Amino acid sequence: MSHLLTDILSTKINYLTGVGPKRAEILREDIEVYTYLDLLHYFPFRYVDRSRFYAIREIRTDMPYIQLRGVLRHFSEVGEGRRKRLTATFSDGTGSIELVWFKGIKYMRDKLQEGRRYIVFGKPTLFGSGYNIAHPEIDVEEKAEQITGGLTPIYHTTERMKNMGLGSKQLQQLIYVLLNQVSASLTETLPSYLLATYGFLAYPEAVRQIHFPQGVAQLELARTRLKFEELFFVQLHLLGSKLERKARFRGIVFPSVGHLFNTFYKEHLPFELTTAQKRVVREIRQDTLTGHQMNRLVQGDVGSGKTLVALLAMLLALDNGCQACLMAPTEILARQHHHTLSEQLRPLGVEVGLLIGSSTARQRSLLLPRLADGALSIVIGTHALIEQGVVFHRLGMAVIDEQHRFGVQQRARLWEKNAETLPHILIMSATPIPRTLAMTLYGDLDISIIDELPPGRKPIQTLHHYDNNMAPVYRFLRSQLAAGRQVYVVYPMIEGSESADLKNLEDGFELFSSAFPEECVTMVHGKMKAHDKASRMAEFVSGRSRILLATTVIEVGVNVPNATVMIIENADRFGLSQLHQLRGRVGRGGEQSYCILITGTKVGDDSRRRIQVMVETNDGFEIAEEDMRLRGFGDLEGTRQSGKQISLRIANPARDGELIALSRRVAEQILERDPDLLHPDNHILKLRLNKLFPKEDNWSAIS
């Protein structure tokens, strides 16, 4: 059998005719194309129907894009310096149109010849008494016809690429050259039984059709084949990792539910567990009986009671002679968990330690020996927990809060704390993840969902208000403050505009201080020193300050039950899941809470839709699905830091839910019959899998 996607496809892209070292550098840096195979897998994001040619006399202003065939008549360069432009007259016998270039003037002047026939493609604009096309795609007639069918692919490019003559059209030409050069090396990557069962196109044909489709039907077949393959190998990798982990790594068995768990459950629960919480506790209990390491992701909406479930899991570890730890992404959150858990466990006589970056040398010297000899059973911390000098006596349960804030290697360092058997891992995600995305990113984890809120929680009322009339908002705030409540006011802090955003926050501080002179107004932002930030937050948590102005540093986990109003300034600049997370900072007590979204009167369509969704629903899973639809997969918070080797070039979990489900089902069936992919029919899968996901450290041992 020939090598799978043979070695020629590993050739560096600079060796392709028409690329060279400078263009290769831009392809690598701008679109992550390093090899021939990377270029073949740089798929178009849309297609334009180029089957029709228009006559110049048919041009109308409402036409989006047109294709013309004709002769280039004469050039002229107009203007000086930065205002300089190149114009050319293009005629087809029915009329003439002006072509204009503002950039790459010398390149275009050298490339084009007067009197020669060309095919032109672009968007016509009415200028004065005639039409022009700015920066059209233009190619000599015979060359354009070689690679232009009815449907023409459009590729994402950057400004830098265009300046180097690497626009969409040029990428298509490079792919055309490459396909002709390597067509004999394109070998199948899926077993023949899968092609036959599901009617998939062969791999070489799918690659050709995705770049040069012969029609809509063939394009759809190519898309389906390539999307399935991409998702299928991700599922095969994740599910295979899970099987391997369970076969290779032992976990500590917790044979009994003991005194601590039972006493807390029967006598000290702050409220009765919801049905969903009970279900998740049962799932955790079952995992700890198997002798395999638990790797479970607990998803739940803000305020659904994930921390209480985690506490019960930690008590289960203590009852079985083990220690437990909880790792939080920020010091503020770690301190808060420490305070909450210390209060809840005081009646049981269980001490809770705290280890964070700002812990003093004396605090460490008192804590670390007690952790090492087992005298301290529970510790809460940040990244400080995974430092070299931190040794556990017998770590049995590691809870990780807000998974996507930690890299996978950092998480792996936690379970290295036990030499022989691995601690059970419970990951709490406060950001609800759409089902299809969870399958794609976290397919190697067992997933539990807490889909109920504790009894007595009132749904937060969300309102949209324009910033040109804030008087009613201030009146409402006064009524809430008069009732003894507290208020958050959040401002965006976006990378790239930090100084302007900080100014907005400071202006807001002046505004609220003068509007509410009788109140202590506090301000917190990410540029402050950790100590200052913590002391300001403490003022608000204690109630000394009743109005807190902040950037999104309060997004995760801060718990002030007396805060009933969340005002989000410039709400149109936040993503949906971020808005939902911020809203979840209120509504934590028994009082009715409110979220007020402030925007200008001019708001874009996507922003308007986000605001509308927030006003209409409090359901985090609905919001996550809508967020994925609006923003796509690549931008979703958390996916870049997820620590997975997953890069989807054509599939999109927002749109390809059915294919994700199919790919998972097929992967499960294959691994059930042949877990090590040793059957001759599956040899092709093992080769491809090893190429896509090289065997390195087994990070999957901790998800």
Give per-residue pLDDT as tens, 435-491.
Answer: 777 777 777 788 898 988 887 778 899 999 999 989 999 999 999 999 999 999 999
472 and 602 co-located in one domain: yes
CATH number, residue 573: 3.40.50.300
Q: What is the pLDDT of residue 685?
A: 95
pTM reported for the whole predicted model: 0.70
Q: In terms of C-beta density within 10 A (0-12 exposed, 13-18 middle, 19 or more buried), how is residue 576 classed?
A: buried
Structure tokens at 355: 């280890």
> Which residues 6+ apart lie within 8 Å of 420 measured at CB?
250
Band the pLDDT of 495: cuts 50, 70, 90.
low
368 inside domain: no
**Domain stops at, among 148, 179, 207:** 148
CA atoms of 230 and 693, how far apart (whole Å): 12
Token look-up 């998939």 returns 200
594 inside domain: yes
pLDDT at residue 85 tops 60: yes
684 inside domain: no
CA 84 from chain centre, in angstroms, equals 42
Band the pLDDT of 301: cuts 50, 70, 90.
confident
Highest-scoring range by mean pLDDT, 115-129, 148-162, 409-423, 431-445: 115-129
What is the share, in percent, of the chain residues with pLDDT greater than 90? 51
The pLDDT tens digits for 193-217 are 999 999 999 999 999 999 999 888 9
Q: In terms of C-beta density within 10 A (0-12 exposed, 13-18 middle, 19 or more buried), how is residue 228 classed?
A: buried
Q: What is the phi/psi pair of residue 632, to 5°?
A: 75, -175
The torsion region of residue 496 among left (phi > 0), alpha (psi -120 to 50) and beta comes to: left
37 and 113 co-located in one domain: no
The pLDDT tens digits for 214-245 are 888 999 999 999 999 999 999 999 899 888 87
**Domain stops at, among 617, 650, 672:** 617
Q: What is the pLDDT of residue 184?
A: 87
Token look-up 């996978």 returns 408
Q: Indicate the DSSP class of residue 12.
A: B
500 and 605 co-located in one domain: yes
Q: What is the phi/psi pair of residue 222, to 5°?
A: -65, -45
3-state SS, residue 492 = coil
The pLDDT tens digits for 114-148 are 999 999 988 899 887 889 999 898 888 876 665 55
Q: What is the pLDDT of residue 639?
A: 40
Average predicted confidence (pLDDT) for the chain: 86
Q: What is the pLDDT of residue 389?
A: 86
Q: In terms of residue numbers, what domain contains 127?
A: 52-148
The pLDDT tens digits for 325-337 are 999 988 888 988 9
Among candidate residues 335, 336, 310, the one with its CA nearest the CA of residue 324: 310
The answer to whether 177 and 16 have CB atoms below 8 angstroms apart is: yes
74 and 128 co-located in one domain: yes
1 and 128 co-located in one domain: no
359 inside domain: no
140 and 161 co-located in one domain: no
CA atoms of 9 and 34, how far apart (whole Å): 10
- The mean per-residue pLDDT over the stretch 3-19 comes to 82
CA 24 from chain centre, in angstroms, equals 28
Band the pLDDT of 419: cuts 50, 70, 90.
low
Region of poorest pLDDT, from 178-182, 540-544, 585-589, 606-610: 585-589
Band the pLDDT of 701: cuts 50, 70, 90.
very low
480 inside domain: yes
Q: What is the pLDDT of residue 637?
A: 39
Calculate Rg over the CA atoms of the chain. Answer: 30
Q: What is the phi/psi pair of residue 124, to 5°?
A: -80, 140
Q: What is the pLDDT of residue 435?
A: 72
- CB burial string 378-388: b at 16+ within 10 A, e below: bbbbbbbbbee
624 inside domain: no
222 inside domain: no
DSSP 551-597: SGGGSSS---TTEEEEEETTGGGS-HHHHHHHHTTS--SSS--EEEE
The answer to whether 60 and 67 have CB atoms below 8 angstroms apart is: no
The answer to whether 393 and 372 have CB atoms below 8 angstroms apart is: yes
**Domain stops at, among 578, 596, 617:** 617
Region of poorest pLDDT, from 145-154, 605-614, 692-701: 692-701
CA 692 to each of CA 5, 160, 188, 491, 540: distance values in angstroms, whole numbers, following the listed order: 11, 29, 15, 42, 50
pLDDT at residue 702 tops 50: no
Q: Is the sign of the CA dihedral 522, 526, 527, 528 positive or negative?
A: positive
562 and 597 co-located in one domain: yes
CA atoms of 307 and 402, how far apart (whole Å): 11
Q: What is the phi/psi pair of residue 74, to 5°?
A: -155, 155
> Which residues 6+ apart lie within 8 Å of 160 measured at CB?
26, 30
3 and 144 co-located in one domain: no
Band the pLDDT of 313: cuts 50, 70, 90.
very high
Band the pLDDT of 176: cuts 50, 70, 90.
very high
Band the pLDDT of 321: cuts 50, 70, 90.
very high
144 and 157 co-located in one domain: no
- The mean per-residue pLDDT over the stretch 551-580 comes to 82
514 and 489 co-located in one domain: yes
65 and 113 co-located in one domain: yes
Q: Indicate the DSSP class of residue 422.
A: B
Count how many domains the chain has. 3
- The mean per-residue pLDDT over the stretch 487-514 comes to 82
Among candidate residues 192, 225, 229, 199, the one with its CA nearest the CA of residue 681: 192
Q: What is the pLDDT of residue 663?
A: 94
Q: For residues 406 and 10, which has the higher predicted lDDT (pLDDT)?
A: 10
pLDDT at residue 22 tops 80: yes
The pLDDT tens digits for 631-677 are 665 443 344 333 344 668 898 877 888 899 899 999 999 999 999 99
65 and 111 co-located in one domain: yes
252 inside domain: no
CATH number, residue 111: 2.40.50.140
pLDDT at residue 27 tops 70: yes
Q: What is the pLDDT of residue 145?
A: 62
CA 100 to each of CA 67, 105, 138, 182: distance values in angstroms, whole numbers, following the listed order: 16, 10, 12, 37
